[in-house]
Amino acid sequence: MIHFEWPWLATMVLLPPLIWWFLPARQAREQTALQVPSLARFQDLAQTGSGNRSRLQRRPLWAYMLWCLLALALMRPQWLGEPLALPTSGRDLMLGVDISGSMREDDFRYQGRMVSRLAVVKELGREFIERREGDRIGLILFGERAHVQTPLTHDRDTVQHFLGEAAVGLAGKATAIGDAIGLSLKRLRARPEESRVLILLTDGANTAGNVQPLDAARLAQTMGVRIYTIGVGTDGTGLSWAPIGGGGSDLDEKSLTDIASLTGGRYFRARNTEEMEEIYQLIDTLEPTEDEQAVRRPRHELFVWPLGTVLLGSIGWVLLAGRGRVG
């Protein structure tokens, strides 16, 4: 169906007739008699004047048609498509993923082979994101530094893509848990209070950054942001790789538990793939997506057609006037 964004502008079509009606009539000018040498020349002059009057009579009609088309364009006609149901959710969910050096440790068994901690987080994280239909999801990657990989968005494919491209060591080998929480809060602060959630996955203790994790957690508490912390990895025995340059593989479970408790969230420990998958499913239960749907009708602008006609008509008028065919 056709919809007009500003239908009241249709009153513009009445403006020229009103101006014509209320303007005082022009006084007819007295003309002196012309002396012509012969009747034939007088008849030629009369025919010429008749043609000019005919063109003058057509000129206002042409201008009025262009004016009506301009009014139609200003009314901003739009074609409304079929209604589309858009899933909505009251939740804004940030996913904070540790990519420090110790996340490359191959101590998880997945599909019959040993894989790194980050590989499991990425694979099961993509499945978790896929289930969050309607949620706004953002991704923060952190090591020695924390940075926003994707802002809050309904585009789950984009979040999954950038999570899949995450690589160990891109943000340094150390672990800045406090900075990751602080950056997440900065992104969540403009969202409704009851919807803000942070899921933090790490395999170590806070060894870098400018913000202490518990200080960031207290700020999250005042902002109403719930934090679910997930400790990733085995108990630390039999590691084949030793962290370098301040990185740590010793999981600080007490700090992660305190962070979750302060904010009304929960702490989970993922020692294997099965536990990690169960944690994601439990978070789905604790933070369910909403079933409400918003309806949106796609709009296609049509004003370009009458506006283009006005432009072409004006150009044609100028060209024909130059040749003496119009007005």
The tokens describing 152, both together, are 């809050």
DSSP letters spanning 189-231: TTS-GGGEEEEEEESS---SSSS-HHHHHHHHHHHT-EEEEEE
- Name the class of domain 86-293: alpha beta
Q: What angle do CA 304, 307, 311 make, to 5 degrees?
A: 125
pTM of the model: 0.61
pLDDT recorded at residue 177: 93
Domain coordinates of the chain in residue numbers? 2-20+41-81+297-322, 86-293
Task: Map residue 287 onto helix, strand or coil.
Answer: coil
pLDDT in tens, the chain (327 residues): 788 888 898 998 888 888 878 776 544 444 445 555 555 554 554 555 545 445 545 567 878 888 899 899 999 999 887 776 655 556 789 999 999 888 888 878 877 788 888 988 888 888 889 888 878 899 999 999 899 999 999 899 999 999 999 998 888 888 899 999 999 999 998 787 778 899 999 988 888 888 899 999 999 999 999 999 999 877 644 333 333 333 344 788 999 999 999 999 999 998 888 888 888 888 888 887 655 555 677 788 888 888 888 888 888 877 777 665 555
End-to-end CA distance of the chain: 39
Q: Which single residue is written with the structure tokens 């101006």?
A: 19
Q: How far is CA 41 from CA 31, 36, 68, 81, in A?
A: 18, 7, 42, 65
- How would you classify the pairing of strands 77-80 and 299-301? antiparallel
Alpha-carbon distance 313 to 287, whole Å? 60
174 with 246: CB under 8 angstroms?
Answer: yes
Distance of alpha carbon 86 from alpha carbon 138, whole angstroms: 19
**Token representation of residue 194:** 């009851």
Residue 105, classed as helix, strand or coil, is coil
* CA 100 to chain CA mean position, Å: 31
pLDDT at 289: 65
